[in-house]
Amino acid sequence: MKKVVKIGIIICHRYHTCGGGKCFRSMKNREGAFSIYKNMDIELVGYSTCDGCPGGNIEYVPEEMKKNGAEVIHFATGMVVGYPPCASITHFKKFIEEQYKLKVVIGTHPIPEKYYVIHSALKTWESPVWQEYIKPTLATEEIRLAYN
């Protein structure tokens, strides 16, 4: 029997009407940040927005997800590719890991190519911190094009 990892996903509130299609497709296909679960089953136990800047739900939503069994919280790729990327992402990650003792993974689905191109041109992700943050979702060009 495969290990089941229970996860929660927090999305940027700018995309609060997002249906989650890319996240769910990449979860099913184990692409992007979900590739770390190649030989495991995943159970989604929570899905919410951050509640908008400055992230009011970051204080409460992880607690609810943890009560539902969450072991890992994923920040949706939208928090990385939005214009601008989430300015509070580092703070949110540190808070959740310290307050709730949950692992936080930056990203869900692979970065779509159109976002990769513009952020590369803008040099958005040049810092070592951002290079580390995009690593789980930086797939091949072919996969990035499939997520456009």
What is the pLDDT, as a whole number, of residue 2? 78
The rounded average pLDDT for each run of 10 residues, N- to C-terminus, in the chain (148 residues) is 91 94 96 96 97 95 98 98 95 98 98 97 96 96 96
Helix, strand, or coil (residue 104): strand
What is the pLDDT, as a whole number, of residue 1? 61
Q: Which two tokens stand for residue 23?
A: 């996240």
Q: 71 near 5, Cβ under 8 Å?
A: yes
Give one word for 119, left, alpha or beta, with left for phi > 0 and alpha for psi -120 to 50: alpha
What's the pTM value of the predicted model, to 2 decimals? 0.95
What is the pLDDT, as a whole number, of residue 3? 86
Q: Which domains does the chain have, with CATH numbers?
A: 4-146 (3.40.50)
Angle subtended at Cα 119 by Cα 23 and Cα 38, rounded to the nearest 5 degrees = 30
